[in-house]
């Protein structure tokens, strides 16, 4: 609404943090009016999101290009179409999701019936990140609306073009008395986090995840934390090498140039197989990005100069710099780094300690593939773990022994698009999950309701507790 939204700062609209409490109050009033709870309101807002995307595909693609040089097709497949299908699914399934779930009752409560009623939590906050800045902002918002909440979205300041676009599109297409965008960085997020929310869904680093959770704890606000980690890909030798390598490339360099939370962080394979694997990656990379990947239009740039500097520091660390077997080229002015492979970097190197989140790919070698389990288990639990093999026993052992947010055998990334699967981390990679029905659940309270009649009242439960009754 015009009363509080923005003030002009250096020609750029900026949220006035002093008005944060007022913003939340407004949204709470809308929620308390009951409007957002109705099926009709939820459907109308979801339809508006669909329309908003349909009518602005070009603008969205342009914003993603400005922020990340994101190739058009990648922007379409990974962000626009994913967001749309999430919206379509909610539109199709919402009436079923909203139906209370009948559950069995026991002899203790006889006669009775019981159901689980999904009710909206209230006023919720979604804090988003920059790597898939459109999808990762709107997808949780779709869940929050589906569940009947008022919602504030705080997109990432590191993807400013998408943030600005989201802010103006939401203002234009959605019910602003219940759905708002607050743009900004640390100050704005800090001001938002001081408020009492009924749920916070945060996507980003574990460092800030801790700040979010600490702020939420003050109000006993539940959180879903969508964090990251070092996602391993274990590669066996008994595979269709070309298909596996293409899928690894699709889950690294053709996925935002490695700047993806479920992107392959590092590979583990056997000493014997590594040279063959590297040759194949070299060959397929050339098929995808040409002889000089630095000039390819099909690969995103690094998002910012600080992330560029961080990646170069990982690459140029003394104990690592002589391990480069492919790539290594960089261009600071254009924030580009070529697809880079490093073989057998030491375990204590920085590149093996932190999430890489970029186009550098260490390959670790082991004598026996089973040894890879110990390497993975020595690190924090990752958001995704990948295995390429035709060995059924190895698949079973991997699923049973490796703990990760999600898991995918013989491919990368795609589990994110399986509607029936929850998407979320475990341990350092996060808590809670969303996607499809799980998004609805993430923003709902599961209210337990027991119905009794006045019939069949027994006196056994009532005092006085005579010995005879107690025995009963």
**Distance in Å, CB of 269 to ligand NAD, minimum:** 23
Catalytic residue among 226, 284, 355, 428: 226
Is residue 129 a contact point for ligand NAD (CB under 6 A)?
A: yes
**Distance in Å, CB of 74 to ligand NAD, minimum:** 15
266 contacts 274 by C-beta, under 8 angstroms:
no
- Measured CA to CA, the distance from residue 231 to residue 462 in angstroms comes to 58
In this chain, which of 430, 433, 438, 440 binds ligand NAD, going by CB under 6 A?
430
What number of chain residues touch ligand NAD (CB under 6 A)?
28
What is the rounded (10 degree) CA torsion for 411, 415, 417, 420?
140
Is residue 302 a contact point for ligand NAD (CB under 6 A)?
A: no
Q: Which is nearest to 127 in space by CA: 203, 26, 42?
A: 203
**Using CB under 6 A, which residues numbered 305 to 324 contact ligand NAD?**
none
How many residues make up the chain in this entry?
472
24 contacts 152 by C-beta, under 8 angstroms:
yes
In this chain, which of 28, 70, 154, 435 binds ligand NAD, going by CB under 6 A?
154
Catalytic residue among 231, 261, 355, 428: 261
Residue among 50 and 139 whose Cβ is closer to ligand NAD:
139
**Using CB under 6 A, which residues numbered 43 to 82 contact ligand NAD?**
none
Stretch that binds ligand NAD, among 6-14, 183-191, 385-393, 438-446 (CB under 6 A): 183-191
**Distance in Å, CB of 468 to ligand NAD, minimum:** 59
**Distance in Å, CB of 356 to ligand NAD, minimum:** 10
What is the rounded (10 degree) CA torsion for 68, 351, 375, 421?
-10
392 an active-site residue?
A: no
The 3-state DSSP composition of the chain as helix, strand, coil percent (nearest 5) reads: 45, 20, 35
Is residue 156 a contact point for ligand NAD (CB under 6 A)?
A: yes
Is residue 7 a contact point for ligand NAD (CB under 6 A)?
A: no
Neighbours of 285 (CB within 10 A): 25
125 contacts 200 by C-beta, under 8 angstroms:
yes
Is residue 136 a contact point for ligand NAD (CB under 6 A)?
A: yes
In this chain, which of 78, 227, 248, 408 binds ligand NAD, going by CB under 6 A?
227
In this chain, which of 52, 80, 125, 127 binds ligand NAD, going by CB under 6 A?
127
261 an active-site residue?
A: yes
DSSP 130-199: SSSTTHHHHHHHHHHHHTT-EEEEE--TTSHHHHHHHHHHHHHHS-TTTEEE---SHHHHHHHHHS--SE
**For residue 266, what are the β-bridge partners?**
232
Is residue 181 a contact point for ligand NAD (CB under 6 A)?
A: no
139 contacts 167 by C-beta, under 8 angstroms:
no
Residue 353 backbone dihedrals phi, psi, to 5 degrees: -100, -40
Is residue 239 a contact point for ligand NAD (CB under 6 A)?
A: no
Cβ-closest position to ligand NAD: 228
In this chain, which of 45, 82, 167, 203 binds ligand NAD, going by CB under 6 A?
203
Is residue 249 a contact point for ligand NAD (CB under 6 A)?
A: no
Is residue 42 a contact point for ligand NAD (CB under 6 A)?
A: no
**Distance in Å, CB of 325 to ligand NAD, minimum:** 25
**Distance in Å, CB of 159 to ligand NAD, minimum:** 9
- Measured CA to CA, the distance from residue 314 to residue 326 in angstroms comes to 15
In this chain, which of 145, 383, 394, 426 binds ligand NAD, going by CB under 6 A?
383
Is residue 226 a contact point for ligand NAD (CB under 6 A)?
A: yes
In this chain, which of 133, 160, 204, 339 binds ligand NAD, going by CB under 6 A?
204
If residue 208 lies in a helix (H) or strand (E), which one and from where to where?
helix 206-218
Neighbours of 282 (CB within 10 A): 15
Q: Maximum distance among all alpha carbons in the chain?
A: 89
Is residue 197 a contact point for ligand NAD (CB under 6 A)?
A: no
**Distance in Å, CB of 355 to ligand NAD, minimum:** 5
Residue among 124 and 383 whose Cβ is closer to ligand NAD:
383
333 contacts 305 by C-beta, under 8 angstroms:
no
- Measured CA to CA, the distance from residue 182 to residue 257 in angstroms comes to 28
**For residue 125, what are the β-bridge partners?**
152, 200
Residues forming the active site: 226, 261
User: Where on the chain is the footprint of ligand NAD (CB under 6 A)?
Assistant: 127-131, 136, 154, 156-158, 185-186, 189-190, 203-205, 208, 211, 226-228, 261, 355, 357, 383, 425, 430
């Amino acid at each position: 609404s015009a009363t509080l939204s923005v003030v002009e700062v250096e020609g750029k609209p900026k949220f006035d943090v002093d008005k944060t409490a007022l913003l939340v109050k407004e949204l709470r009033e809308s929620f308390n009016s009951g409007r957002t709870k109705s099926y009709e309101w939820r459907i109308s807002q979801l339809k508006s999101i669909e329309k908003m995307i349909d009518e602005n595909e070009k603008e969205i693609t342009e914003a993603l290009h400005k922020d990340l040089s994101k190739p058009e097709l990648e922007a379409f497949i990974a962000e626009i179409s994913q967001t749309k299908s999430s919206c379509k699914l909610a539109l199709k399934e919402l009436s079923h999701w909203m139906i209370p779930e009948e559950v069995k009752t026991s002899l203790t409560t006889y006669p009775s019936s019981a159901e689980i009623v999904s009710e909206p939590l209230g006023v919720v906050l979604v804090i988003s990140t920059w790597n898939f800045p459109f999808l990762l902002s709107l997808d949780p918002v779709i869940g929050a609306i589906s569940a009947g909440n008022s919602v504030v979205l705080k997109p990432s300041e590191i993807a400013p073009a998408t943030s600005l676009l989201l802010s103006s599109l939401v203002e234009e297409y959605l019910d602003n008395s219940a759905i708002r965008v607050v743009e900004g960085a640390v100050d704005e997020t800090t001001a938002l986090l001081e408020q009492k929310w009924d749920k916070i869904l945060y996507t980003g680093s574990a460092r800030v995840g801790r700040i979010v959770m600490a702020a939420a704890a003050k109000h006993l606000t539940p959180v879903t934390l969508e964090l990251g980690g070092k996602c391993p890909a274990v590669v066996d030798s008994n595979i269709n090498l070309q298909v596996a390598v293409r899928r690894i490339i699709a889950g690294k360099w053709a996925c935002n140039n490695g700047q993806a939370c479920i992107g392959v962080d590092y590979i583990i394979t056997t000493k014997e197989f590594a040279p063959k694997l590297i040759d194949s990656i070299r060959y397929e990379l050339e098929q995808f990005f040409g002889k000089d990947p630095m000039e390819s239009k099909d690969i995103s740039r690094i998002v910012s100069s600080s992330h560029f500097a961080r990646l170069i520091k990982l690459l140029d660390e003394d104990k690592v710099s002589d391990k480069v077997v492919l790539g290594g080229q960089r261009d600071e002015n254009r924030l580009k780094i070529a697809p880079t492979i490093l073989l057998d970097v030491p375990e204590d190197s920085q590149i093996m300690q932190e999430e890489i989140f970029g186009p550098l790919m260490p390959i670790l070698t082991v004598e026996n593939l089973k040894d890879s389990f110990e390497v993975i288990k020595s690190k924090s639990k990752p958001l995704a773990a990948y295995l390429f093999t035709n060995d059924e026993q190895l698949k079973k052992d991997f699923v049973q022994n490796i703990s990760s947010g999600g898991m995918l055998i013989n491919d990368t990334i795609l589990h994110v698009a399986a509607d029936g699967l929850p998407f979320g981390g475990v341990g350092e990679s996060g808590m809670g999950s969303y996607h499809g029905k799980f998004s609805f659940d993430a923003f709902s309270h599961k209210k337990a309701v027991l119905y009794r009649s006045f019939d069949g009242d027994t006196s056994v439960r009532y005092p006085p507790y005579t010995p005879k009754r107690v025995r009963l």
